[in-house]
Amino acid sequence: MTSAAAEKTTYREAIREALREALRRDDRVFLMGEDVGRYGGCFGVSLGLLEEFGPERIRDTPLSESAFVGAGIGAALGGMRPVVEIMTVNFSLLALDQIMNNAATLLHMSGGQFNVPLVIRMTTGAGRQVAAQHSHSLEGWYAHIPGLRILAPATLEDARGMLWTALEDPDPVLIFEHGSLYNMAGPLPADAGPADIRTAAIRRAGTDITLIAYGGTLGKAVDAADELANAGISAEVVDLRTLRPLDDATILASVRRTHRAVIVDEGWRSGSLAAEVSARIMEQAFYDLDAPVQRVCSAEVPMPYPRHLEDAALPQVADIVTAARQAVG
Amino acid sequence: MSPRRAPGPKASPQEAPAQERPPAARHHAELLRQMVLIRRFEEQCVELYSAGEIHGFVHLYIGEEAVAVGVNQALAPDDSIVSTYREHGHALVRGIALDSLMAEMYGKSTGCSGGRGGSMHLFDASTRFYGGNAIVGGGLPLAVGLALADRMRGDTRVTACYFGDGAVAEGEFHECLNLAALWQLPVLFCCENNLYAMGTALARAQVQTDLAVRAASYGMPSWPVDGMDVLAVEQAARHAAEAVRGGGGPHFLELRTYRFRAHSMYDPDRYRDKAEIEQWKQRDPIDLLTAHMRDAGELADGDLTALDTEVSAQLTNAIAAARADPLEPVEGLTRFVYSPEPS
Amino acid sequence: MTLEQASQTIKSVLGEIAPDADCDALPADADIRDALELDSLDFLNFVEMLSQRSGQRIDEDDYPRLGTLASGSEFLAGG
Amino acid sequence: MPVLGADMDEGTLLEWLIKPGDEVHKGDVIAVVDTAKSAIEVESFHTGIVERLVIPAGETVPVGTVLAVIRESVPVAAGAAPGPRARPAGGPAAAAPPAPPVTAVAETAARAAPPATPLVRHEAAELGVDLTLVHGTGRGGAITRHDVEQAAAGPRRRRVSPLARRLAAELGVDLDAVTGTGADGAVRAEDVRQAAPAAPPAQATGQPAAPVPEAPRPAAPGKARPAGTSRRPEKAAAMRQAIARLMARSKREIPHYYVSNTVDMGPALDWLRERNRSAEMSARMVPAALLLKAAALAAREVPELNGYWTEEHFVPAPGVHLGVAVSMRGGGLITPAIHDAADLPAAELMGRLRDLVNRARAGRVRGSELTDATITVTNLGDQGVESVTGVIYPPQVALVGFGKITERPWAVRGLLGVRPVIATTLAADHRATDGYTGARFLNVLADLLQRPEEL
């Protein structure tokens, strides 16, 4: 009768629970990647799964990104439902050839004969002082590629719910988990289930300006909305959730209501996902705009190591607030 | 460029009595000093990391010191070095100023990489130290290219390229060994085989765990070496480096070693037995060398204590300096994205 | 369950339902619903939690007896 | 750069024969241009004063590039007939006299060719015009070179937001007369509304949120923020402000009308008592669940009251998302929605209601629940009042109120009895419906409550 009680959990545990559920529900599902087994995952996501499901289904791989991502594509072609974990988005570049030239293209090249029901998960983003080879937000690059579906869970519900829906998708889905979210804790209903992977979500309603964010920047956007509320500005926060294909309807409907938009994106500004969103707003809601669309992105610099420079390079709450205030005037 | 400290005095025994010792004893004392310096430096890193003074990923070399110290003996000041994210030891023995290394750990603008790199990305042009590369296998192509440039420009340098056993699984490893051998480039491949790619044991990632054999299949001379014995490492490295320098094409050393601590600063260590770690600690490279020196009568009772005192004082000074050093102003955030306009 | 235990149980449940209320200051004969501004859903939660804590089934016909701290304690104590 | 031959793509400006400030007449030779074939004299097609030379001698530029700007000296009366769009004013100050029209030398080329985007861009760059600020008058709103030239002509083109421009057209506001309050004097929608003859309310139409500043939020990374900590007073204050704004807007914008009714709750309460007797404790229902279900069904039966008033017309909602006013402990209220309430069995609706109220009070309502309500119910029966006549949540068009169930003398077929009765009320938006519709709604509601087993 009443819905199941909410249990306190973390983003990390929510993903693990999603993996566990998928492994239980469908014996075609298996997890493959570097140190996902004995080590329990570089970020501890798959801790305990090896013990529960055994080494056949929780497969440690050598450090051979191109090989094991490509093998995931092959296994998907062969009837399995692989979940491939890549430690970080920077390392995914070693497998970019397979992702771009195989996963994203096979269906089209084969005239619709071969689809690739593959899920690739990887960590993205900065904020942990791990410098210029472990910190970037390259999901915008992947969102450039037709044939892929790109997800960015920013909440516990999405961390828990997106994987299964992604596995049900007949085509390759990339899930970007922001490294700073793994420890995010909060309540999650015990019966939390699959999450839709087609739409953006309004995480907070508002009337004066739309803050558009995703993944690691959502929390910052919400914090910014708090600050703006104190200043009497009612900000609506849109969580993109699915970076490709973008849910234009939700984004545009919100901007048409508020007439102003700030896009928050941890990627670099030039050629960013924020640029794409901004362009769509210009194209489709130009005559509803009462101020230029603003973007809050990362500084155009490889991520520096020291805390103060990393902070300065990343979108911060104060930057979002400033941009929003400028737009509202 | 960022301000740099002048390199400290080149590694050399400085105590007066050493002058009276035979050359072999002086040499061993220097090897010992370098290993102890690495060990104490990293122990300090653990402390500073735990205290929240240094951050990010910090990969410790403790247990593997004999490799860096031994290989470095075979390298000339003009040789090039390409390293990994576990490179504190390589950087220290290369003679990069201690203060600038410590400042880099602190992310200070006086650090060897201007504070931008941190532990994983130590760079120093003056010693041709081409950096800590934190993408497994990512350094090998650079080493091949540096060697290619030397060859094309007629320089007789050796490029020493460090990487771990994990890199052997990457495509780049195979592509680079083949290319270096095909073009007979002057690369000394130094594979630090510590048996684990992060948490995955070599035997669980590779069919052929004898890595020297794999390298040999690319047509280059290759040896397995006891990486816990600094003298054995030195001997093998000298032999290989001379051959490379003499135009013998790339050589490969599989340096069998072991890290005593976690992959990064801390990790669950679920992937190996405590007993295994203890067993390897019985062959601690510092202990092996001191035992050898004692047996040879090269080590007096107070020597180790004196060495510790000396190294500790250096570190204490370096830490104090690093703490006091300035941070890069935020206005400088986007420096070094492009080279400055020629003036 | 003694009267004192019953009274403590009721107060602790009320404390959870109306966290900002000072249940210790609640007069024994005050109408709980009025004093703590409980609506019907709050009251349902209250009854349900009381039932769980005391292990007793509480029927709708018993609700009037839970109107005050005094009568409720007696009810729970089996009076 | 004029086209001086059919095959000419670009030209090199060899020499200027004029300088800024010079007076030139139509037909004067003003420059020498080298094409691939020969040096050709270029004449002016306009009479006026040379404002500036854009391209220096020696530079090679594509055809269509502006070479110089000449301010035409033909006097133009202030307040001249408006063009296809409001003429840009001289600057931030309102009602500045329009700048005299200015034409560039290269207009010949522009006449010959349709607007070419790269050219326009190039020209804008040459003239230092920010294209994002230029209003296009070409096909599909494309920016033409003329637009760019116009933009370059004034000291600086007036900044007007797209929405403001659209509103100005809709409201018949002359943008020249509007004072801009945005950055660099930009005219924004609010400025236009202020300037409109009978200024409509400032709030834009559209679907606003329920008056809750604190929608569900993802926990901040690394820290779970427990509900009800020290931020509470600020939150309560912010919530109060939000409610204030929304309710004020409702009363300002919405012409409310009200109808009320009294309904016999005897059958419903009897049915509930029977049902609860046999039910597990956790499955017991309160009368509010039946009232909500009945309201949801009534909203489905009378769809004119279920939806939004937006853009000056009513948009019916496809489903009934029943907003439930939940008062917060310590003041304030939020109105989360029970989605598709009309489709839920009453027992399930009861479960949802409990869940929703618990979560609402714990600050854990989902965003969609706060924005999706299509009609709202307020039930103040528990607070002991007999009836409540509410304020509509914009852009919804109706609000249903329930009072306390009280025993009253009640006549049925000529016989007097004591029955539990409830006052039902409806506040509705007169723009969307009339009293007749409201009355129909309350009658349907009353009928439904007589047949509780069907709810």
Q: Who contacts D228 (Cβ-Cβ below 8 Å, separation ≥6)?
A: C19, D362, D363
Q: Which of A87-101, B2-16, D6-20 has the highest mean pLDDT?
A: A87-101
Domains of chain C: 3-76 (1.10.1200.10)
pLDDT > 70: percent of chain A: 99
Closest CA to D416 of D424, D406, D408: D408
pLDDT at D226 over 50: no
Please report the ipTM that was assigned to this predicted complex.
0.62
- The Cα of A39 is separated from the nearest Cα of chain D by a number of Å equal to 22
> Among partner residues B117, B137, B333, which is closest to A299 by beta-carbon distance?
B333
**Mean pLDDT estimate for chain A:** 94
Domain A6-189 -> CATH class: alpha beta
pLDDT digits (tens, 9 = 90+) for A17-33: 999 999 999 999 999 99
pTM to 2 decimal places:
0.58
Beta strands in chain B (DSSP E): 80-84, 129-133, 159-164, 187-193, 196-197, 200-201, 222-226, 251-256
Check CB contact under 8 Å for D367 and A207.
Answer: no
The better pLDDT of the pair D134, D270 is held by D270
- Residue B81 has phi, psi (to 5 degrees) of -130, 135
Q: pLDDT category, D368, cuts 50, 70, 90?
A: low
**Chain C residue with the nearest C-alpha to that of D357:** C41
* Tokens 């953006």 -> residue: A200
Interface partners of chain A (CB pairs < 8 Å, 3 or more) are: B, D
H or E segment and range at residue D141: none
Can you tell me the mean pLDDT for D41-63? Answer: 82
Give me the CATH code for the D10-75+85-158 domain, please. Answer: 2.40.50.100
> Among partner residues C39, C41, C60, which is closest to D277 by beta-carbon distance?
C60
Check CB contact under 8 Å for C58 and D281.
Answer: yes
Q: Where are the alpha helices (DSSP H) in D130-265?
A: 145-153, 162-171, 189-195, 232-253
Interface partners of chain C (CB pairs < 8 Å, 3 or more) are: D
Judge whether A89 and A123 are in contact, CB under 8 Å.
yes
Q: Who contacts D360 (Cβ-Cβ below 8 Å, separation ≥6)?
A: D326, D328, D334, D336
| Distance of alpha carbon A243 from alpha carbon A266, whole angstroms | 13
Neighbours of D309 (CB within 10 A): 20
Stretch(es) of chain D classified as CATH 3.30.559.10: 232-454
What is the predicted pLDDT for the residue at D18? 86
What is the predicted pLDDT for the residue at D157? 65
| Distance of alpha carbon A270 from alpha carbon A267, whole angstroms | 9
- The Cα of C59 is separated from the nearest Cα of chain D by a number of Å equal to 7
- The Cα of D376 is separated from the nearest Cα of chain C by a number of Å equal to 18
pLDDT > 90: percent of chain A: 91
> Among partner residues B55, B197, B327, which is closest to A63 by beta-carbon distance?
B197
Query: In this complex, does chain C touch chain D, defined as having at least 3 beta-carbon pairs under 8 Å apart?
Result: yes
Stretch(es) of chain A classified as CATH 3.40.50.920: 201-328
pLDDT at D84 over 70: no
Helix, strand counts (H, E) of chain D:
11, 19
**Mean pLDDT estimate for chain D:** 75
- In tens digits, chain B (343 residues) has pLDDT values of 444 444 444 444 444 454 578 899 999 999 999 999 999 999 999 999 988 899 999 999 999 999 999 999 999 999 999 999 999 999 999 999 999 999 999 999 999 999 999 999 999 999 999 999 999 999 999 999 999 999 999 999 999 999 999 999 999 999 999 999 999 999 999 999 999 999 899 999 999 999 999 999 999 999 999 999 999 999 999 999 999 999 999 999 999 999 999 888 777 667 888 899 999 999 999 999 999 999 999 999 899 999 999 999 999 999 999 999 999 999 999 999 988 877 6
pLDDT at D199 over 50: no
Closest CA to A264 of A199, A196, A203: A203
CATH 3.30.559.10 fits D232-454, yes or no: yes
Q: Which residues in chain A have their CB less than 8 angstroms from residue D350's CB?
A: 1
Q: For residue A174, what is the DSSP state?
A: E
Radius of gyration from C-alpha coordinates of chain C: 11
Burial of B170: CB neighbours in 10 Å, binned 0-12, 13-18, 19+? buried
- The Cα of A229 is separated from the nearest Cα of chain D by a number of Å equal to 7
**Chain A residue with the nearest C-alpha to that of D237:** A230
**Chain C residue with the nearest C-alpha to that of D286:** C40
Check CB contact under 8 Å for A38 and B199.
Answer: yes
Check CB contact under 8 Å for C41 and D383.
Answer: no
- Judged by DSSP in three states, D93 sits in coil
- CA D333 from chain centre, in angstroms, equals 24
Closest CA to B60 of B73, B50, B72, B70: B50
- CA D306 from chain centre, in angstroms, equals 20
Question: How open is the CA angle A100-A101-A104, to the nearest 5 degrees?
Answer: 55
| Distance of alpha carbon D318 from alpha carbon D340, whole angstroms | 9
Check CB contact under 8 Å for D330 and C59.
Answer: no
> Among partner residues A155, A185, A207, which is closest to D209 by beta-carbon distance?
A207
Of A299-308, B67-76, D72-81, D139-148, the poorest mean pLDDT is in D72-81
Q: For residue D84, what is the DSSP state?
A: S
Check CB contact of B207 with chain A, cutoff 8 Å.
no
Stretch(es) of chain A classified as CATH 3.40.50.970: 6-189
Check CB contact under 8 Å for D329 and C20.
Answer: yes
| Distance of alpha carbon A218 from alpha carbon A203, whole angstroms | 9
What is the predicted pLDDT for the residue at D125? 75
pLDDT digits (tens, 9 = 90+) for B84-126: 999 999 999 999 999 999 999 999 999 999 999 999 999 999 9
Stretch(es) of chain D classified as CATH 2.40.50.100: 10-75+85-158
- The Cα of D216 is separated from the nearest Cα of chain A by a number of Å equal to 7
**Chain D residue with the nearest C-alpha to that of A155:** D218
Q: Which residues in chain A have their CB less than 8 angstroms from residue B174's CB?
A: none
| Distance of alpha carbon B6 from alpha carbon A312, whole angstroms | 29
pLDDT at D108 over 60: no
| Distance of alpha carbon A302 from alpha carbon B337, whole angstroms | 7
Cite the active site residues of A: 65, 134
Q: How far is CA B150 from CA A17, A44, B7, B191, in A?
A: 54, 44, 25, 22
Judge whether A298 and A314 are in contact, CB under 8 Å.
yes
| Distance of alpha carbon B174 from alpha carbon B185, whole angstroms | 15
Name the fold adopted by A201-328.
Answer: Rossmann fold (3.40.50)
The dihedral built from the CA positions of residue B314, B317, B322 and B323, taken in this order, carries a sign that is positive
Domains of chain B: 28-326 (3.40.50.970)
